[in-house]
Amino acid sequence: MTLPDNIHPLELKVFLNHIYEYKKGVRNMVLYTTNKKYEKYAVKRLTSQHIDFYIQYIDSNKINLFFGRPECIKLIRHMTQRPLNELTPEEDFILGAMLGYDICGQCRRYCKRKMQ
């Protein structure tokens, strides 16, 4: 797959590594925040590899690209109808757990957010 002229391969190194980890079973789901100029390439790449994804638009220049197991992406479509910083503590905890973040760290984050 050739890259458009405005995209440098090094800029997509993390994205391609996330795909590799997902396909190897290291992750069930990935959240990749990137410049909107990479959206078309990322969608084409994920589609060609039959990987489910969901795009959340942050602003005119940035997107959150979620991709992974179909059941995870289905949940994300329902849960992310607003910016991530507006998720409830419970939704934030679920998202962190789905992304494979440290569960004890997620517990501390949840408790801290509930106390605020």
| Predicted TM-score of the model (pTM) | 0.89
Same domain? 70 vs 94: no
Claim to verify: residue 104 and residue 70 sit in the same structural domain: no
Considering the domain architecture, whether residues 4 and 46 belong to the same structural domain is answered as yes
Q: Tokens 């991530």 — which residue?
A: 84
Strand order of the sheet with strand 62-68?
A: 29-35, 62-68, 52-57
> Is there a single domain that holds both residue 62 and residue 90?
no
Distances (CA, A) of 19 to 12, 31, 108: 11, 11, 29
Domain containing residue 107: 82-116
Q: Which CATH number is 37's domain given?
A: 3.30.2190.10
How many domains is the chain built from? Answer: 2
Phi, psi of 97 (to 5 degrees): -65, -40
Q: What is the pLDDT of residues 25-81, one digit of tens each?
A: 999 999 999 999 999 999 999 999 999 999 999 999 999 999 999 999 999 999 998
- 1 with 52, same domain: the answer is yes
Shared domain check, 106 and 53: no
If asked whether residues 77 and 87 sit together in one domain, one would say: no
For residue 30, what is the enclosing H or E element?
strand 29-35
47 and 94, same domain (yes or no):
no
Is the domain of 58 the same as that of 88?
no
- The per-residue pLDDT for 74 is 97
Whole-number Å distance between alpha carbons of 15 and 34: 9
Average pLDDT rounded to a whole number, residues 6-26: 87
If asked whether residues 33 and 75 sit together in one domain, one would say yes
